[in-house]
Amino acid sequence: MKKFAKTLAVVTALSMPFSAFAAHHEGDDHAETPLTNQLIVMSIGDAQDKIGQLADAIPADKYGYRPMEGVSSVSEVLMHVASANYYIGNMLGHDVPEGIDTKTLGEGADKAELVKIYNASAKHVKKAIKGVTAGAMAEEIKFFGMTAPRARLALMAADHQHEHLGQLIAYARANHIVPPWSK
């Protein structure tokens, strides 16, 4: 019983900042977005910001850099994440915008256009996540060969951003580029 009381106290203490966050944002455009969705969107936004900073810091002539044969280049990583953002956003009920082909995304694009495509895709998946109700987030769905709550799919979008942020950090460091937020 003592252990349960301690656990309950910790959970309550940890949830207070989130309830304060939700109360603070009442009346803004997130008011109808469930808190869990808001937190996932914030995580994607954090990764998006750092990916954007790295994308700006990496010179255009390094966008073809790959650490070894068979591994994605900087530009391919950006477009892989962008394609996944559109794909997951679509699976969450937000249609891929007309004219976007996720299989050819970014082909022939320069650095500025690649960054623009990535940012548009991040905006797309965040909008999709914001639009899912709390009840729908709890529903079990099939995706990627498994059955899990829809919220797991939304979390995958955030996980994926951070996974490839790490990859881009490694690419930058290998090219003697310090991530801007580390300076």
Closest CA to 153 of 165, 136, 168: 136
Residue 1 has pLDDT above 50, yes or no: no
CATH of domain 32-182: 1.20.120.450
Tell me the pLDDT band of 183, cut-offs 50, 70 and 90. confident
Q: Whole-angstrom Cα distance, residue 48 to residue 144?
A: 23
Cα separation, 49 vs 172, in Å, equals 16
Single pTM value for the model: 0.82
Structural contact between residues 100 and 139, judged by C-beta atoms closer than 8 angstroms? no
| Residue 138 pLDDT grade (very low, low, confident, very high; cuts 50, 70, 90) | very high
Query: Domain locations in the chain?
Result: 1-28, 32-182
Q: What is the pLDDT of residue 7?
A: 44
